[in-house]
Amino acid sequence: MTQTPYGLPLVGVTACRVASGSATAHRVVDKYVDAVVEAADCLPLIIPALGAVVPPEQFLARLDGVLLTGSPSNLDPALYGGGVRPEGDPADPHRDATTLPLIRACVASGVPLLALCRGIQEVNVAMGGSLHGRLHEVPGRHDHRSDKTLDYAGRYRESHAVKLAPGGLLAGLLEGLVDDAGTIAVNSLHGQGIDRLAPGLASEAWADDGTVEAITMPGAKGFLLAVQWHPEWQAAAIEAHRRLFTAFGDACRTHLQSRGSH
């Protein structure tokens, strides 16, 4: 791993709170942790889903970046004016109460932020946007959920193209990998998607059905990129995935050096 004069950047990786026997546990799938180490070249630290127990500023005072992970759970519709949660919709209120204030604190302080799948939805809601609770039921939209008949690896194969915004952050990071139509192929494992984009955010990529697949925040104090797909999958081996984590890792190193110099 590449050391800075101040050591390795420390990246907080958000956890979910899940049932575990008669108790609950904080859980992060290993691919997220591995991606921080192998592709971002940083040191991961799991952020438990504690809600308001620990103010987000307490975490950020010690972190050089935050990775918002994907999850089987969905944000509470009440958080974005989406009405009552549908029966059977998987919930994680502890994660909701942790990540939304954490995102706002990252934006306010300039801590680098990379958000994946549920993470892009959290960024949009945290900043005042809304979601389609069941994207596949929206007229004109495709079914972006994973094919559960496939094995685990099969679900993470590229399944559709997204068109990148010319001149955007994402287009710059993926220069040379975009085809003549301005698209790249991505995996797709999400049931929800952005409806109303939050003020201050900008779309960076779209699926052919109009679904927003990536967002940034122009003028943000620090690095902020959120994508609807899963670049943590084989992050060190797949070039497009590696580039996103490398850019995030570089931003974390810059943040560490800035903190260290003060």
Task: Identify whether 117 is a catalytic site residue.
Answer: yes
Name the DSSP letter for residue 7. B
Q: Facing residues of 228 across strands?
A: none
Catalytic residue (one of 132, 232, 241, 252): 232
Catalytic residue (one of 94, 190, 230, 255): 230
Read off φ and ψ for residue 138, nearest 5 degrees: -80, 125
Cα 63 to Cα 13: distance, rounded to the nearest angstrom: 10
Q: Most distant CA pair in the chain: distance in Å?
A: 54
Catalytic residue (one of 117, 122, 190, 252): 117
State the CB neighbour count (10 A cutoff) for residue 21: 6
Dihedral sign, Cα of residue 123, residue 217, residue 67, residue 153? positive
Cα 245 to Cα 173: distance, rounded to the nearest angstrom: 10
Task: Identify whether 16 is a catalytic site residue.
Answer: no
Cα 100 to Cα 105: distance, rounded to the nearest angstrom: 9
* Single-letter amino acid code for the residue at 181: A
Helix (H) or strand (E) holding 186: strand 183-186
Are residues 59 and 51 in contact, defined by beta-carbon separation less than 8 angstroms?
A: no
Cα 212 to Cα 225: distance, rounded to the nearest angstrom: 13
Cβ burial, residue 209 (10 Å; 0-12/13-18/19+) = middle
Could you give the residue numbers annotated as active site? 117, 230, 232
